[in-house]
Amino acid sequence: MSEQDSPTEVPAEYVAWGDSADLPASSSGGPARIGVLTSGGDAQGMNAAVRAVIRSGLHLGAEVYAITEGWQGAVDGGEGIHAMDWDSVGNVLHRGGTLIGTARCAAFRERSGQLAAARHLLEHGIDRLVVIGGDGSLTGTDEFRRHWPDLLTELVASGDIDQDVADAHPALMIAGLVGSIDNDMVGTDMTIGADSALHRIVDAIDAITSTAASHQRSFVVEVMGRHCGYLPLMAAIAGGCDYVLIPENPPADGWEDDLCETLRAGRAAGRRDSMVLVAEGAADRHGNPIKAEQVKDLLAERLGEDTRVTILGHVQRGGAPSAYDRWMSTLLGFAAVREVLAATAESTPHVLGVRHNRIARIPLVTSVQATRAVGAHITAGDYDAAMAARGGSFREMVDVFATMSRPPTLTAATPPAAGRRVAIMHAGGLAPGMNTAARAAVRLGLDAGLEMLGVYGSFKGLLDGDIRPLSWGDAEGWVGDGGAELGTRRNVPTVEHLYAIGRAIEKNEIDALLLIGGYDAYEAAALLVRERSRYPAFDIPVVCVPASIDNNCPGAELSIGADTALNNAVWALDRIKQSASASRRCFVVETMGRRCGYLALMAGIAGGAERVYLHEEGITLADLQADVTRMNASFRSGRRLYLAVRNEEASEMYTTDFLARLFDEEGRSLFDVRQAVLGHLQQGGSPTPFDRLLATRLVKAAVDDIATQLDAGTSYGRYLGHMGGRLEKRPLAHMDEDVDAEHRRPRQQWWLDVRPAVAAVSQPGAS
């Protein structure tokens, strides 16, 4: 779910999800002992990471201890360090903050504090740590690791520990996880909490927009981001805002005039409200701070606008974590346990981060140094270096926002010329984010000198001639709307329709087709490309952008709409689990996805499911027998809830109803069973920030490709998507090479590699 690319100078190595190696034992012959702590500011998703560390450690045979209130717990000792069992982290996935507490510990910066921390850790035999925090916490941890041998020598000399203890724990092995809502750690695409914070901001913008439009008001919203503009920039794009001020890219002199002219032009183009986002660390090119109140006064004075200020503050840190901050934090916690268990005294300490949806090992020192360099670049006024440090796509999104937010009267775009008419059309099932994609296509297309046409009603609308030109203002308000203003249908045209489709393309003088949809859309586009020799009208650029909650489009690791559907599913699972809190109950929950198990697996991880059934793995009678045995044993040992998630087409015979009846019969009076089919709930609601950003990035690539083809006179049929961090453009003529046509899904699905983590956090004592 990467939204930015880390700079290439920060090395990373992807984590392989293979079998766990034999675990090291302590010198006393007992299991390895791991400590986990959260330090610095809290971030949504920390609980998911702590839960994963504790359960993965126990699953792999280690003992795990919580160190409470950050490093303060280690310095104080006593109850500040205590053993955790499997159930101590039950029912915490949906909770914000951190159940083991966090604080900034001044005493730990002193030698005496580090001596106390080392002594207290050794009292429990702990010499492996997973630390979840920001760059300051991770730097302090690495310093503690480097001082460890000297600390032990001093503790032996003072008589606080025996030499045997020092010899048994000669080194401290550490793994870091970055918990920061600012997404400010260089080297990882996303930090724990950033996606949830972005949810809070965009939800607030959506809510403010409705009241602002009602009164034709302007709002200035202050967003966290002292040295990092990720949150305000991405929120401005996802929220359809007019202007954004971020630390890495201060506005040029005269920005006040530019701001006022942009807002004035937006109102003239049809906007009923104006929205300006200001990062808390925003400043001008001379280092003078720019505050929200200052912007409000400016708009009131120069535009006579009725302007309000909203400072979101700590609401950005609070509340339940998003689905992403649950499943990705779970994977990070699992990977961190494997990291510290495999570490030796000679191992280089690593941060476990995210690169292109994969868990990656990043050298801790290198990452921290690069992160701190960004602030230094900003202080020195070297904004190009600061922007470069944030990664290539960060700069790209700065440019995209500038293009999409500026009304046409302020741009240098040339009017569309003949032969540059581009039709935007949806096909396939509804996916949240289709409106965001269509809006982006209109605004980016107009800026590229294209004439943008909306085809209403998919291929039927094309046949009926329901095609209308779209202006900059026509797409106003679409960015956060669910549904699809242009309409969509699943029907794929057949050979009998091709002549009529060709005539419609010719009649409406369509020079290129931008198709935003799911697997059905891809099949339809591939058919048009294959039939070009018979129907010359199809010999135009045809570009497909993936939009499907099933996440089964070839050539794309993530489709527009899948993240929203996942968040909807997890929202439902939270409430289902809550309904079972007063009884002993098994729930069998069915998700959408057809024969692609992405939604089921990720919802299972994010929702805390004990079992996930996928079509990719199938279901056997032996599987069900083992599941019943495990389920009964868990309820006998005191469990109150067992959650099983089933992909809707996991098995033709073993349906959701069958599983529920089987479990009910086998459970008898031990527990009762309920089933829930989530259905179209997963397709509804406003698109998540990630789906809005993904739609914008993919459509930007599609529009650029179409414009380039029209300039060059080429007519390629392509489908676009991100694969392993790269934007791929693959030929529709060879789509069959990428797909499992029988099951309507890609041949290679990256997310299947994370399945070992499900067992690690759901099955205690497994081998």
Which tens digit of pLDDT belongs to each residue from 260-311? 999 999 998 888 889 999 999 999 999 999 999 999 999 999 999 889 999 9
Q: Say how many CA atoms lie within 13 Å of 685 toward its Cβ.
A: 21
Q: Which of 16-20, 164-168, 413-417, 685-689 has the lowest mean pLDDT?
A: 16-20
Position 15 pLDDT exceeds 70: yes
Looking at every residue in the chain, the average pLDDT score rounds to 93
Residue range 665-679: mean pLDDT, rounded: 93
Integer angstrom CA distances of residue 677 from 168, 218, 523, 641, 656: 54, 43, 28, 18, 8
Q: Which of 8-22, 399-413, 589-603 has the lowest mean pLDDT?
A: 8-22
pLDDT of the residue at 9: 62
Q: State pLDDT tens for residues 544-586.
A: 999 999 999 999 999 999 999 999 999 999 999 988 777 899 9
Number of residues written out for the chain: 767
pLDDT > 90 fraction of the chain, expressed in percent and rounded: 84
Q: Phi/psi of residue 219, each to 5°?
A: -125, 140
Position 451 pLDDT exceeds 70: yes
pLDDT > 70 fraction of the chain, expressed in percent and rounded: 96
307-311: strand order across its sheet: 243-245, 274-279, 218-223, 307-311
Please state, in angstroms and rounded to a whole number, the distance separating the CA atoms of residues 457 and 485.
9
Q: What angle do CA 440, 317, 379 make, to 5 degrees?
A: 75
Q: Single out the residue of 525, 425, 511, 501 nearest to residue 731, CA to CA.
A: 525
pLDDT of the residue at 425: 98
pLDDT of the residue at 738: 95
Contact indicator for 34, 129 with CB cutoff of 8 Å: yes
pLDDT of the residue at 766: 44
Position 22 pLDDT exceeds 90: no
Tokens of 683: 């397709």
When pLDDT is cut at 50, 70 and 90, the band that residue 8 belongs to is very low
pLDDT of the residue at 622: 96
Torsion sign over Cα 684, 559, 572, 427: positive
Position 142 pLDDT exceeds 80: yes
Contact indicator for 548, 566 with CB cutoff of 8 Å: no
Please state, in angstroms and rounded to a whole number, the distance separating the CA atoms of residues 358 and 169.
32
Query: How many Å is the Cα radius of gyration of the chain?
Result: 27
Within 304-409, residue ranges assigned H as helices are: 323-342, 364-380, 383-389, 392-405
Cross-strand pairs, 175: 130, 350
Q: Single out the residue of 171, 194, 173, 174 nearest to residue 182, CA to CA.
A: 194
How many Å separate Cα 380 from the centre of its chain? 32
Q: Single out the residue of 705, 766, 229 nearest to residue 512, CA to CA.
A: 705
Of these residues, 42, 182, 189, 563, which one is catalytic? 182
When pLDDT is cut at 50, 70 and 90, the band that residue 765 belongs to is low
Torsion sign over Cα 589, 591, 594, 598: negative
pLDDT of the residue at 391: 83
pLDDT of the residue at 6: 54
Q: Which residues fall within 8 angstroms of residue 633, CB to CB, at 6 or more apart?
A: none
pLDDT of the residue at 20: 55
Cross-strand pairs, 726: 723
Q: Which residues fall within 8 angstroms of residue 680, CB to CB, at 6 or more apart?
A: none
Q: State pLDDT tens for residues 596-609.
A: 999 999 999 999 99
When pLDDT is cut at 50, 70 and 90, the band that residue 4 belongs to is low
Q: Which residues fall within 8 angstroms of residue 587, CB to CB, at 6 or more apart?
A: 576, 577, 580, 641, 642, 643, 644, 673, 674, 675, 676
Tokens of 611: 């079992």
When pLDDT is cut at 50, 70 and 90, the band that residue 45 belongs to is very high
**Which of residues 330 and 578 earns the better pLDDT score?**
330
pLDDT of the residue at 225: 82
Residue range 92-104: mean pLDDT, rounded: 93
| Residue 167 bears catalytic tag | no
Contact indicator for 657, 676 with CB cutoff of 8 Å: no
- How many CB atoms are located within 10 Å of the residue 156 CB? 16
Q: Phi/psi of residue 309, each to 5°?
A: -115, 135
Please state, in angstroms and rounded to a whole number, the distance separating the CA atoms of residues 392 and 398.
10
Torsion sign over Cα 232, 238, 239, 245: positive
DSSP state of 726: E
Whose tokens are 């290679």? That residue is 748
Q: Which of 15-29, 530-544, 561-575, 743-757 has the lowest mean pLDDT?
A: 15-29
Position 713 pLDDT exceeds 90: yes
Q: State pLDDT tens for residues 52-64.
A: 999 999 999 999 9
Q: Name the packing angle between helices 292-303 and 255-268 (round to 10°).
A: 60
Q: Which of 4-18, 328-342, 380-394 has the lowest mean pLDDT?
A: 4-18
Whose tokens are 């409200």? That residue is 273
Whose tokens are 């909306």? That residue is 454
